[in-house]
Structure formats: structure tokens, C-alpha cells
Amino acid sequence: MAKQRALIIGGSVGGLFAANLMRSIGWDATVFERNPDELTGRGAGISTHPQLHDITKRLGIPFDETMGIHIDTVVFLARDGREYERRPTERLMSSWGRVFRSLRDLLPPDSYRLNMTLARIEQDTDGVTAIFTDGSRERGDILVGADGGRSTVRELFLPDRQPEYAGYVAWRAMLDERDVPPEIHAHLFENYTYCLPPGELFLAYPVPGRNNETEPGKRAYNIVWYRPTHPDKLADLCTDATGKSHGSSIPPPLIRPDVVAWIRGETRALVAPQVAEIFERDPRPFFQPIFDLDTPQIVFGRVALLGDAAFLMRPHPGAGTTKAALDAATLADALAAHGADAGLALYQRRQGAFGSGIVQQGRRDGAYLTDQLKPREQRRNKDLSWGVDDLMRDHEARSAEVLRIFNASRNLA
Ligand SMILES: Cc1cc2nc3c(=O)[nH]c(=O)nc-3n(C[C@H](O)[C@H](O)[C@H](O)COP(=O)(O)OP(=O)(O)OC[C@H]3O[C@@H](n4cnc5c(N)ncnc54)[C@H](O)[C@@H]3O)c2cc1C
């Protein structure tokens, strides 16, 4: 009997988890990625959860010391650089590129096709057809939309559901370990560092290097700085040097030089000088406006949404990659146990509940930042100051919370 075939739209981590797990249950799976060139990690660091480690292990990828960097200490730095709090922790920081590479290497080359942009979908009782912008057509038994937060697949079925701006952006910077000044490296590099300018959240930690190295000397230092940003200010940040507006996000190379100079000045004024120095040394800091989206439906006939295409969550639970992996594993298990129709229905029930729960968790975690744009008298006490205990409690509860939301969704038969 011919193998059943899954068409996977989107070749990032969600699409790769889906393709590898579908192949592990005996399906044929082909990934179609719109980019003409191989995707590369832009160095973005990611937190990881035990559920992610379990799924990579299931694919034969041990989540060992080559996958990320263990951190056992959290420090809080005051504006003048003084360390005012130090706590034990247990975190494993990986990078998008490291996870991507390990999943990509598992797939046979002809199962991953670049320069294929999905335009339309047709379905009938026997299967589904993907139609690409070059006019080519591919036929499969199911289609998985793993095409990210601005998903074409979701847009085709839910054109009125658009991601909502959360009211803040994440500024990001990265520096190779060898470029971190030695005196700063000695005190800072191995720790997870917080600075808490009023109403903001600044995080810094080591991640695998640009080519995924985890050996000392070859790693990188990653900064994520959440800053409440009014929509008018965001529109200005997203306007390039020619005056062209790019809407609510702008490609990093087009960020205006005066915006880069401004954010460097803000860094010097607001965060500890050690981390400000690292931020300033990155020649190309960039920002990501934070959006989220709770989705009422993730299965449409033979089409299923997965990862950020299904639910876009704020980054605070640090679980976007973990959720994409759990979506893919749940889909593969449901198809293996129940076949396409009943399997997709079970996927809708379980991952619909899980995704919605994680989006709500991200909103709770990010409420402090969103609420900063409200008039002061409308803010709750919690919004006016955010301290060590709040952050440590939220962090320590995070993996357990992701597990609790996931386990609750398993009870849906
Ligand atoms: C500031 C920030 C911090 C984060 N921190 C973490 C963290 O600590 N831990 C964590 O786990 N996650 C984190 N995330 C989230 C994580 O990056 C995403 O959840 C994850 O990359 C989702 O993967 P995905 O495959 O679903 O989507 P994406 O990575 O967005 O990939 C979608 C792919 O689909 C392709 N595509 C789009 N349209 C089409 C089309 N029409 N045809 C063909 N291909 C198409 C795109 O080119 C892209 O390659 C963070 C995100 C942000 C913004």
C-alpha cells in the first residue's frame, strides 16, 4: 500500500518537527519553504522545557551539552552596575539555529524544498492539493500549515483573525563570546542577568554561537529587552530612512541609523553599564514587536495548523519551540492511532485547548508590560513595580505551568 503523504508548509522548527515525526509513524512528508536560501539561525536564543527535550530524544537527538548551555545562577543588576541579588536556578538555553540544524539534518534532502511559496489550497474527499505561486501543484492526504505567525494557510481559512499587538517590543542584541570584554565576561557571562528599568524587562544570557557551538570561547551572549512602545512610536520605528512605512515590523537591515543611535543612548541611560556595553557593541541591534493570537479553530477538513501558525503566543513562557514540538508529536500520535479523519479531530480538541491555554499564560506573564501604556491611575499595584520575587516565582512556575496546561488538554478524549 502506498504511504500516506503530508504536505508541510513552512520549513522552520515547527515544519521540521512535523515532517520528522510524520516520517517516524510511516508517513511520507515533504516540507515546502518559501525562502529561496537555506534558513540560518540569526543567533536567537531560546529557553527550553523538558517536553522539548523528550521529543527531540524521541527523534534520536539527545538534548545534551551540544544542544545548549546550562545556567545555574541568576543575578539582578542595578542601574549603576551593582549586583543586588543572586539566586540559584536551573536553565538550559539553546538557540533557534541549534534546534533547526539538528532537525534539518534528519530529513532526506529531497523531502525539503526551498523557494516554494504556498498560494492556495484545494481539498476534496480523497485528499488536498497545495498550489504554489509558481503554478506548481502537490497532492497529499493532509496539509500541515507550519508557516508561522503570519500564516498564509490560516489566512486562507480565517481571514478575519489577525495577530494583536501586545503594546511592547523586544529589542535584541547579540555579541560573540570572544568580543565580550574580559572583565565583563568574568563577572557576567555564565549567569542569567536581569535589569529592571521602571516598566521594562531586560534579560541577558549565554547561548550557542553563530554556528551552534557550545564550547567556551565560541558561544555568544544574547540580550532581549522588552520595552512598552505606543503604536505611534512603533509606526515611527518601522519607517525606514527613505520615509517608507513597513507597517508593524521592519526588516532589521532597514532600521534607521538614528533609531539605532537612540536605542544605544537609552541603554546607557537605563541599564547596568556592563550589559549596556555589550548591547552597544552589537553593530546591528534589532527589534521584534510582540503580537499574539488565540485561534478558534486549527483543523479545516484535511488541513491542520501547527506551531506559531496555530497560536501565536507572547515569548514569556519561552515555549514557542516546545509548543511547536508538542503540536507535531500530538498530530503524529493522533494520526497513527486513529487515521486521518478521527486523528485530525482529536488534534483539534487537544492542541486547540493547549494552544489557547498557552496564549492566556503568555498574556498573564506579559500583563505588566502591556499595562504600562495605561494611564497611571488605571494600573494595578502589580503594574507599578516588578521585583526579584515576582520574576523568580513566574520563572520557576513556568515549566510546571506548560505541563499543567498540556496535561489538561490530554484529558480531552
Ligand atoms: C522575542 C522572542 C523571543 C522568543 N523566545 C523563545 C524562547 O525562549 N523559547 C521558545 O521556544 N520560543 C521562543 N520564541 C518563539 C519561537 O521563535 C517560535 O515559536 C518558533 O520559531 C515557531 O516556529 P514555527 O515553525 O511555528 O514558525 P516560524 O519560525 O515563524 O516559521 C514559519 C516558516 O514558514 C515559512 N512560510 C511562511 N509563509 C509561507 C508560505 N506561504 N509558503 C511557504 N513557506 C512559508 C517562513 O518562511 C518560515 O520559515 C520567541 C519569539 C520571539 C519573538
Judge if the beta carbon of residue 318 lies within 6 A of ligand 1. yes
Judge if the beta carbon of residue 31 lies within 6 A of ligand 1. no
Amino acid at position 289, single letter: P
pLDDT in tens, the chain (413 residues): 689 999 999 999 999 999 999 999 999 999 999 999 998 766 577 888 889 999 999 999 988 888 899 999 999 999 999 999 999 998 888 888 899 999 999 999 999 999 999 999 999 999 999 999 999 999 999 999 999 999 999 999 999 999 999 999 999 999 999 999 999 999 999 999 999 999 999 999 999 998 889 999 999 999 999 999 999 999 999 999 999 999 999 999 999 999 999 999 999 999 999 999 999 999 999 999 999 999 999 999 999 999 999 999 999 988 899 999 999 999 999 999 999 999 999 999 999 999 999 999 999 989 889 999 988 778 776 666 778 888 888 887 877 888 888 888 877 65
Predicted pLDDT of residue 262 = 98
List % helix, strand, coil for the chain (3-state, nearest 5): 40, 25, 35
Nearest CA among 268, 306, 269, 267 for reference residue 287: 267
pTM above 0.85, yes or no: yes
Residue 295 alpha carbon to ligand 1 centre in Å: 16
CA 383 to mean position of chain CA atoms: 25
- Give, using CA atoms, the residue closest to atom 30 of ligand 1: 148
* pLDDT tens per residue across span 68-110: 999 999 999 999 999 999 999 988 888 888 999 999 999 999 9
- Give, using CA atoms, the residue closest to atom 25 of ligand 1: 14
Predicted pLDDT of residue 69 = 93
Judge if the beta carbon of residue 147 lies within 6 A of ligand 1. yes
Separation between Cα atoms, residue 126 and residue 132, nearest integer Å: 20
For the record, the C-alpha cell of 393 comes out as: 516565582
Instruction: Confirm if 248 and 230 have CB atoms less than 8 A apart.
Output: no
- Give, using CA atoms, the residue closest to atom 38 of ligand 1: 147
CA atoms within 13 A on the CB side of 168: 26
Judge if the beta carbon of residue 321 lies within 6 A of ligand 1. yes
Atom of ligand 1 nearest to the CA of 47: 8
Judge if the beta carbon of residue 402 lies within 6 A of ligand 1. no
Q: Mutate which of 321, 327, 358 to test ligand 1's pocket (most atoms within 8 Å of Cβ)?
A: 321
DSSP SS3 for 192? strand
For the record, the C-alpha cell of 358 comes out as: 498557552
User: Considering Cα of 16, then 21, then 24, then 29, what sign does the dihedral take?
Assistant: negative
Judge if the beta carbon of residue 320 lies within 6 A of ligand 1. yes
Predicted pLDDT of residue 376 = 78
DSSP SS3 for 46? strand
Residue written as cell 492556495? 120
Residue written as cell 549603576? 80
Instruction: Confirm if 290 and 313 have CB atoms less than 8 A apart.
Output: no
Strand partners, 292: 164
Separation between Cα atoms, residue 118 and residue 399, nearest integer Å: 35
- Give, using CA atoms, the residue closest to atom 15 of ligand 1: 320
Judge if the beta carbon of residue 366 lies within 6 A of ligand 1. no
Residue 182 alpha carbon to ligand 1 centre in Å: 34
- Give, using CA atoms, the residue closest to atom 35 of ligand 1: 10
Separation between Cα atoms, residue 82 and residue 190, nearest integer Å: 17
Judge if the beta carbon of residue 46 lies within 6 A of ligand 1. yes
Judge if the beta carbon of residue 95 lies within 6 A of ligand 1. no
* pLDDT tens per residue across span 232-242: 999 999 999 99
Separation between Cα atoms, residue 317 and residue 90, nearest integer Å: 15
Cα–Cα distances (Å) from 182 to 73, 187, 191, 343, in that order, read 19, 9, 15, 55
Predicted pLDDT of residue 92 = 87
Atom of ligand 1 nearest to the CA of 224: 1
Instruction: Confirm if 35 and 116 have CB atoms less than 8 A apart.
Output: no
